[in-house]
Every structure is written in structure tokens, then in C-alpha cells.
Amino acid sequence: MSNEWQNRDYAVDADRTYHERYFRENNLSAPGSWLAGPDEFVLRQARSLAKNSYVVDVGCGPGRHAIPIALYLKSLGGRVLCIDYLPIALERLSEAAEAAGVVDQIETQAIDVATTSLLAGSYDMCLAWSVWEATVPCADIAAKLVELQEAAKSGGGLNVIMFNTEMRRFDASSGVELDASSKLGNFNARDLLSLLRRLYEGWSAIRIETRDDEEFVADGNRTDRWTAKQVLFSARKP
Ligand SMILES: C[S@@+](CC[C@H](N)C(=O)[O-])C[C@H]1O[C@@H](n2cnc3c(N)ncnc32)[C@H](O)[C@@H]1O
């Protein structure tokens, strides 16, 4: 276990406080928020899922991916296990499932994925979209990726991952750079890409790409501008 775990309580507090407020103030259709819609990258992978598929969405939030995946799986007899450590995220997700008519396709679990393992060999698709960077120390990311690999079914199970790297925080009005150290470790995109290529040797890589991201986040009476290099990855298990 790395020394970064000593900073974890502080990082988790910051993450929970931010997301609790964000999910209270924004819903899945809030325009301008990052919850406004699913990422097309995720939906493209989900559309390859077959009959009776079982998906796990790790750090699901209020379900901007889980709900459309559940809708897609409804006629195929599939289900989505939605995991988040925030009760408010799962409450919002359950409301959205009700509104979308996919209650029977959704299961929820309130656990900390940093300290609890996923069931091995169980899922046709394991989605971890923007979750570990805030609450798992960099030095332990490889172990989490291996766990995600083990959770996928052999013979075609997918891992679909998005990871924010090189995160920087600025005061949006003055442009002054602020401390971004609440993000544990703050991975470098190149290091993460080489870790992914090494760990996923033998898997069929479907997509590996990076893109620049910018988010504006209200923090009291200041608005922060966060920038990140996002690493998007999907691969199929042999
Ligand atoms: C940036 S949001 C992304 C939500 C969702 N994946 C999406 O793309 O809309 C990160 C989510 O992961 C959850 N989360 C972060 N660390 C977690 C942990 N260690 N265990 C469980 N959930 C976690 C947060 O509560 C939040 O809902």
C-alpha cells in the first residue's frame, strides 16, 4: 500500500463534498453540466452487448451511462449493476430508472470501490468512467485495473475506462492557477497510456485515445476552471 493512502481521507472528503452538492443541484438533463448526457464513446461500446448481458458501472453517479445502457438492454434481458459510495447518487439514479422505465434492469450497491473488490469473471462490460482518479492513489491504480480485468467475463468481456489526467485548477475570472492537490496523485497521460498498454497486452484493444477537457465548477463565490487530459480506453478480454 502506498503512502498516498495517508492523504486519502482528505481526498475522499473533497470528492464526496463536491459530488454531493453537484448531484443535489444538477440532474441528468441539466444543460451545461457534465451530467447533461452520456458520452458517445460509452454508448458505442454498449451497443455491442448481446442478449442477457450483465454490466457493472463503477462510480456510476446518477446514471448518465447506466440508464441508456439499461434502456438498450431492456429488450435483450440484460441488467446493470450500479456502484457508487454516495447515497445521493444512487437515489438520483433510482429516480431516473423509474422515469425511464428500467427499474427491473438496474441494481444498486453503495460501496467504496477503492477498498472493496468486484466479483471476478462476472460482467460482459465493466465501465469505470472518471472514478478512480479522485479516490484511488496513483500507485494503486494498476491493482484496480487488474481487478477490472478479472471482473470481465473471459471470451469477450469489455473494459471501458475514462481517466482524467494532468488535472489543473484555475480561478475562472482571474486565470490564476490554484492548488489541485485534492486529486490523489494526478496521473500523467503518457504514464497511464503505457500502463494500459502493458497491462492489457493480450486483450483486443478497441480504442485508445486522449482528448482535452475543460469544466467550470462553482466553489462558494468563486468559479474554478478545471482542465484535464482525458484518457479513453476500451478493450475486449481474450
Ligand atoms: C466524476 S463522477 C462520474 C460519474 C459517472 N461515472 C459519469 O460518468 O457520469 C465520479 C463518481 O464516482 C463516485 N466515486 C468516486 N470514488 C468512489 C469510490 N472510491 N467508490 C465508489 N464511488 C466513488 C463519486 O461519488 C461520483 O459519483
Q: What are the boundaries of each domain within the chain? A: 3-236
Pocket lining: 90 vs ligand 1, CB cutoff 6 Å: no
- Kindly give the distance from the C-alpha atom of residue 165 to the centroid of ligand 1, in angstroms, as a whole number: 15
The model's pLDDT over 217-227, given as tens digits with 9 standing for 90+, comes to 877 788 889 89
Residue 181, pLDDT score: 64
Residue 4, pLDDT score: 60
Residue whose CA is closest, atom 1 of ligand 1?
130
List CB contacts of 217: < 8 A, sequence separation 6 or more: 18, 22, 223, 224, 226
Cβ 234 vs Cβ 158: under 8 Å: yes
Residue 2, pLDDT score: 52
Cβ 124 vs Cβ 159: under 8 Å: no
Cβ 26 vs Cβ 50: under 8 Å: no
The model's pLDDT over 47-67, given as tens digits with 9 standing for 90+, comes to 999 999 999 999 999 999 999
Residue whose CA is closest, atom 27 of ligand 1?
61
Residue 183, pLDDT score: 58
Pocket lining: 86 vs ligand 1, CB cutoff 6 Å: yes
- Measured from the Cα of 12, ligand 1's closest atom is 16
Q: Where are the alpha helices (DSSP H) in the chain?
A: 8-25, 40-46, 66-74, 87-100, 132-135, 141-151, 189-199
Nearest to 41 by CA among 161, 203, 201, 213: 161
Cβ 171 vs Cβ 222: under 8 Å: yes
Segments of the chain with pLDDT less than 50: 1
124: its cell numbers: 460482459
Return the CATH number of 3-236, one of 3.40.190.10, 3.90.1260.10, 3.40.50.1100, 3.40.50.150.
3.40.50.150
Mutation to probe ligand 1, out of 131, 133, 226 (largest number of atoms < 8 A from CB): 131
Residue whose CA is closest, atom 12 of ligand 1?
59
Residue 158, pLDDT score: 98
Residue 11, pLDDT score: 75
Q: Give this prediction's pTM.
A: 0.93
